[in-house]
Structure 1
């Protein structure tokens, strides 16, 4: 039951923000919107206001914004196909942008609740490399191995860039005085990282939370680009991709450890959805953008029937991929 509720919450949040991006931008550029729907399948709630019907549908596995002239020809001056290319591209890309904004919000909330790590040492654990070298609580780390430090992530990165069994040099600010320490990090099998035995002070503020949200979203986006590169080069192993079943399983596992973990998964999925939707694949937002860019360079749109057929083929291929990864998920998690 908890897994189901958590999964519905995550899917609804991610989909709602995505579709709201399309919807609000379409309204801003003057496109007629017939329906703004969250979910798929039979309607369980609907209300009409102005020219738009707002609906919630039974299955929380999607959503859509039905715009005049988006998938068919229309002579209405307020139709999608009658608007300038720039406006149309903005409407299409707005869904992914809202997914990134959602990620920044949820990661910002997590950063505020948990506190953003600083470069000031909070505790030095007894009998660790840091303790033996002479580091003390209150020391502010400003340099590791001749690399300037401006975040806790930099500290972790530089410590873990060390060659095995090699010493590192850490420069700290103690009061107004700079002090240098040489120590040898110790490899921890549980975390798979090199550690020196310190914890960091955290900072809770609106500014640090926003910064944390932006940084985490950027970090995951970077990981997505790396994943896509590895996918193209064949470095991704079979079974690494996951579909809805894998997502629900992951959400269920996160739900066991509290709401903050559900929020984290929400942000992660939101970034993934935004990134994936912008790929230049037919039937996705990125595919639509690609066709509009082709139209821009050609000076005229492609034949709507040909474009529709290409999107249909892309949709079929995506469905086949979804069936495959769903089967793989079932075997992996429940087989």
Structure 2
């Protein structure tokens, strides 16, 4: 049964992946057609074509390798300086430029002169290239908000999970009470596992974050309003200062860092809690921030990936993960012994996270990514505006094709990194904890 559920989880993730790719390319397609650009192909996947059908002047299809997708637009790059396609040069860099320019015009048909991508105003090109990543962002936001507000997420609550027997510093390497240790303020006050703290010093505490903040700000006497077996109980506690783990501001803790703050001495219980709209927006903001930070940190994680593949080192939980690794995690999600609705919610979170990553990654201002074309259009706009201000001749379209040598280098780096992640996902995968 576990094997079948794992296979089902992988299949569900792959379907979600294909939909995300198709959704991304749909953004490019619809905006390109809206601005009158001819689009010969709309494809999901790479490699051999499994299915295709032509409607109007666009061929729609699915290819064998579900690792991406694309649309082909006529005239992605402007002609050469003489207004024509240049002959093939012996220079390898010039050859890259001319090959890219040739590909942009290889399907040019009569009447296409006014349907070329490069002839559109820069702001229109920005919209066409931004529409794909934006579709992924929209899908990520819709899924995240639906899960957070509809299903809820596993989070710490104001219910008491366990009470500390004594006062121990968070930096201590043991959780056993040393001889002569004082009882924790929570134990001395009579707090019990299962109690739900509803007020602190007369103020309502709707969530764990609020309660934690008030506890850390307080030393000395405090009044706890508690619900115990349906009855309301008032407890008097005497909080003390203690060394506690530093929080990261997002509900987690910073490993190895401590602060001195008020200490009560209990561990909160966790549960599935539906989030309010405001809480959901706040969590979404944190996810985007963490996504940007993770993207910036990727180069620094390459040595750990290399060691995990070739030196038998432990694969870290925050290690970069590719499509194969994510599909594997999707299989593990469906095989977990948790309620079905939690499996669905976790899978949706996985797909939403993939879409958020697609958005952030594609917004990098590097060719051949969408962000590279956006940067080229913006640069052209600035260049033309500057020429107009200083009364110089219009410099014309910015020739993005001249950046193709850099694009090939970037693509090569991406391919090598993708292969390293792929091997790591196979031989030393990230596993759910």
Provide TM-score, normalisation by structure 1. Answer: 0.74
Distance in 2 (CA, whole Å) between partners of 1:155 and 1:95 is 39
Pair 1:308–1:246, CA change in 2 (3 A): same
Partner of 2:131: 94
Structure 1 residue 269 displacement after superposition: 1.2
- Three-state SS of the structure 1 residue aligned to 2:113 is coil
1:155-234 counterparts in 2 under 5 A?
155=210, 158=213, 183=239, 196-198=266-268, 208=276, 211=278, 214-231=281-298, 234=300
Q: State the aligned residue count.
A: 316
Partner of 2:403: 307
CA deviations on 1:240-277 (whole Å, 9 max, x unpaired) are 33333322332222232322221111111111111011
Name which of 49, 66, 91 aligns with 2:55. Answer: 49
Partner of 2:21: 15
Partner of 2:414: 318
Distance in 2 (CA, whole Å) between partners of 1:202 and 1:251 is 20
Structure 1 residue 168 displacement after superposition: 9.1
* Structure 2 gap ranges (5+): 1-6, 78-103, 165-184, 227-234, 246-250, 254-262, 306-318, 337-342, 385-395
Pair 1:56–1:120, CA change in 2 (3 A): same
Distance in 2 (CA, whole Å) between partners of 1:168 and 1:2 is 55
Pair 1:30–1:132, CA change in 2 (3 A): farther
Name which of 260, 271, 296 aligns with 2:356. Answer: 271
TM-align CA RMSD: 4.3
Deviates more, 1:248-257 or 1:123-132: 123-132
Name which of 109, 112, 119 aligns with 1:82. Answer: 119
Distance in 2 (CA, whole Å) between partners of 1:118 and 1:57 is 41
Name which of 25, 31, 40 aligns with 2:31. Answer: 25
Distance in 2 (CA, whole Å) between partners of 1:169 and 1:225 is 42
CA deviations on 1:21-77 (whole Å, 9 max, x unpaired) are 222222333322222222222333323333322222222211112222225257532
Structure 1 residue 141 displacement after superposition: 6.9
* Structure 1 gap ranges (5+): none
Query: Are the equivalent residues in 1 in contact too, given 2:373–2:400 (CA < 8 A)?
Result: no
